[in-house]
Amino acid sequence: MAGAPKSVWRCDTLSRPLVEDLQVYMREQLAKLSRGHDLAKAFNYILKRWASFTLFLEDGRVCLSNNAAERGLRGIALGRKSWLFCGSDRGDGARLPCIA
């Protein structure tokens, strides 16, 4: 891909073949599993959402993982226990900048 950004080249040469192989593998395994099997449920879940899952291949702004969002919420999750008994208006005021 002449003139394309390196990230697009990387997706097309590295990720796309892996994702396509994954889809083929899941469909093959799905044919062998009973409908109620937990693995079959997981495969069906992602295959129904395949367009959303593979969006990162088409749009470089889409991240494959949600790690950044999870890290952003980590402070709130860790502070929940500490803030449970802040007990006063002053304690609430101290907590507010951490959440906002």
In the structure, what pLDDT confidence band is assigned to residue 1 with cuts at 50, 70 and 90? very low
Task: Please check whether residue 72 lies inside any domain of the structure.
Answer: yes
69: its two tokens: 């969002």
Quickly tell me which residue has 């959303």 as its tokens.
Answer: 52
Parent domain of 74: 68-99
pTM beyond 0.85? no
Residue scoring higher pLDDT (60 or 91): 60
pLDDT of residue 85: 60
Closest by CA to 99, choosing from 21, 90, 83, 89, is: 83
Q: Are residues 73 and 60 in the same domain?
A: no
Residue 22: is its pLDDT beyond 60?
A: yes
User: Is 58 within a domain?
Assistant: yes
**Domain count across the chain:** 2
Q: Are residues 53 and 72 in the same domain?
A: no
Answer whether 29's CB lies under 8 Å from 39's CB.
yes
- Residue 1 lies inside a defined structural domain of this protein: no
21 inside domain: yes
Q: What digits encode the pLDDT tens for the residues 42-87?
A: 999 999 999 999 988 888 788 777 888 788 777 777 666 666 666 6
